[in-house]
A = this chain, B = another copy of it.
Amino acid sequence: MLSEKYLRMTQLSSSIGLAYRAALQRAAEIGGENVFDYSMGNPSVPAPEQFADAVVEIVRRTPHIELHSYCHSGGAPALREAIVADLNARFATQYCPEDIFIASGAAGAMAHALRAVVSPGEEVITFAPFFPEYAPYVDGAGGILKVVPANIDTFQINFEAFEQLICEKTAAVIIDSPNNPTGVVYTEQTLRRLAEILEAKQKQFGHPIYLLSDEPYREIVFSGFVVPCVPKYYTNTLVCYSFSKSLSIPGQRLGYIAVAEDCAGREHLLPMFSQISRFIGHDSTSVLIQLAAAKTIGQMADLSVYERNKNLLYPALLEMGYECVEPGGTFYLFPRSLEPDANAFCAKAQEENLFLVPGDTFGCKGHFRLSYCVPTEKVERSLDAFYRLIQHYQRRR
């Protein structure tokens, strides 16, 4: 008989998908140029040209056995070496290739990392607002997801609430900075405080608490902001990275887990990740893509459109009267909705052909997410709609 678990999952619709499909439908009615679809976080910029060049060179010149045979379950050695060289040069870290596990995107990295460090019944803490896919990944590891309420004034960590939630059963803590959906970057101060608490709790409970740092947006950082290197602050860190944004190749499914130097259980983790791949039936991703990424590391897609869009949208929304914490990176804004029920607000916005996602999806009511990975001219033309929307609410007051 069909599995109840997965059948039930098909019956829940994601509000991101709903907004996206509503935008598509409206586009069919009034023309795509008149619809402002801020629903999906789908990178919009081209991959660096070197990526295509690398693919062509590899497919033409690499011996069959090297290119097409089964890959080591940890990933292609060339890619693991290139990642380590890049990380160590940029962050003065001491990774070696055996610390890197190639995964299918940051999603695959996170799901693997959770299965490795969480046992059934243990707890995982994350911070609202958060990427909703953490829930199925934690479930897959048999863990229980606990969510620290948002600090809506800064979207830094609400430490008081965190200290109340952390307990003997806490196996892991997930952070996501630059953050989806707020765009906020955790400060050095936030990371220091977080590390202090985790160190103290590890001692108190007598077992490691792993910090899983989800970093798909690490390279989309705006002028004036710095993304600290998380493993420098806390030893038991697993960084989950994706090439989806830096190389703008989400469809190629490539990312990795980097196990920090001196991380507890370091010698076991890589072999465990390989066993997890066996268990779920999915090894990382295409060797061709891995080799192409190895040759392209250090290049970057032209991510400037995201900052250009942020520089246009963020001050314009503030000036109109929207309230929003300034994003330090990503291609998201997470303003307060103009009525307490963000779902009602987003429905209202659709009347202005603005397709937004209610914050409820990310565990933070009263806000909405705006994904501005769209052409800048679209952002410009959407400002009037945002203005009409706030005017509608101001008239009601």
**Interface residues, chain A, with chain B CB atoms under 8 Å away:** 1-7, 9-10, 42-47, 52, 55-56, 59-60, 64-65, 67-71, 104-105, 107-112, 115-119, 122, 133, 136-137, 139-141, 171, 207-208, 248-254, 265, 268-269, 271-272, 274-276, 278-289
The 8 closest A-B pairs by CB, nearest first: A111-B281, A251-B287, A9-B275, A10-B271, A286-B286, A282-B282, A6-B272, A46-B64
Query: Which secondary structure dominates where chain A touches chain B?
Result: helix
Given contacts A119-B4, A268-B2, contact A111 B282 (CB under 8 A): yes
Given contacts A71-B251, A137-B281, A250-B70, contact A3 B46 (CB under 8 A): no
The answer to whether A252 and B286 have CB atoms under 8 Å apart is yes
The answer to whether B46 and A283 have CB atoms under 8 Å apart is no
The answer to whether A268 and B10 have CB atoms under 8 Å apart is yes
Given contacts A46-B64, A283-B253, contact A133 B278 (CB under 8 A): yes
The answer to whether B136 and A278 have CB atoms under 8 Å apart is yes
How long is the Cα–Cα vector from A269 to B68 in the complex, in angstroms? Answer: 31
The answer to whether A281 and B140 have CB atoms under 8 Å apart is yes
How long is the Cα–Cα vector from A104 to B282 in the complex, in angstroms? Answer: 6
How long is the Cα–Cα vector from A150 to B354 in the complex, in angstroms? Answer: 63
The answer to whether B252 and A68 have CB atoms under 8 Å apart is yes
Given contacts A119-B4, A252-B68, A278-B133, contact A288 B287 (CB under 8 A): no
Name the B residues within 8 Å of A133 (CB-CB).
278, 281
The answer to whether A288 and B55 have CB atoms under 8 Å apart is yes
The answer to whether B70 and A283 have CB atoms under 8 Å apart is no
Name the B residues within 8 Å of A2 (CB-CB).
116-117, 265, 268-269, 272
Q: How many copies does the complex hold?
A: 2
Contact among B7, B69, B107, B251 with A272 in the assembled complex (CB-CB below 8 Å): B7
The answer to whether B64 and A56 have CB atoms under 8 Å apart is no
The answer to whether A69 and B268 have CB atoms under 8 Å apart is no
How long is the Cα–Cα vector from A366 to B148 in the complex, in angstroms? Answer: 58
How long is the Cα–Cα vector from A52 to B108 in the complex, in angstroms? Answer: 27
Q: For A44, A108, A110, A252, which residue has the most chain B Cβ atoms within 10 angstroms? A: A252
What residue in chain B is nearest A8 (Cβ atoms)?
Answer: B275
Name the B residues within 8 Å of A279 (CB-CB).
6, 9, 136-137, 139-140
How long is the Cα–Cα vector from A182 to B301 in the complex, in angstroms? Answer: 49
Given contacts A64-B46, A69-B250, contact A110 B288 (CB under 8 A): no
Name the B residues within 8 Å of A274 (CB-CB).
10
Q: How far is the CB of A318 from chain B (nearest CB, A)?
A: 31
Given contacts A9-B279, A10-B268, A68-B47, contact A285 B4 (CB under 8 A): no
How long is the Cα–Cα vector from A282 to B140 in the complex, in angstroms? Answer: 12
Q: For A46, A68, A108, A271, which residue has the most chain B Cβ atoms within 10 angstroms? A: A68
Given contacts A268-B7, A288-B289, contact A1 B119 (CB under 8 A): yes
What residue in chain B is nearest A137 (Cβ atoms)?
Answer: B281
How long is the Cα–Cα vector from A107 to B282 in the complex, in angstroms? Answer: 7
Contact among B3, B70, B107, B286 with A288 in the assembled complex (CB-CB below 8 Å): B286
How long is the Cα–Cα vector from A269 to B9 in the complex, in angstroms? Answer: 12
What residue in chain B is nearest A44 (Cβ atoms)?
Answer: B65
Name the B residues within 8 Å of A6 (CB-CB).
115-116, 272, 275-276, 279
How long is the Cα–Cα vector from A254 to B251 in the complex, in angstroms? Answer: 14
Name the B residues within 8 Å of A287 (CB-CB).
251-252
What residue in chain B is nearest A254 (Cβ atoms)?
Answer: B286
Q: 9 A-B residue contacts at CB 8 Å? A: A7-B272, A45-B64, A47-B64, A71-B251, A107-B281, A111-B282, A136-B281, A137-B281, A286-B288
How long is the Cα–Cα vector from A141 to B59 in the complex, in angstroms? Answer: 37
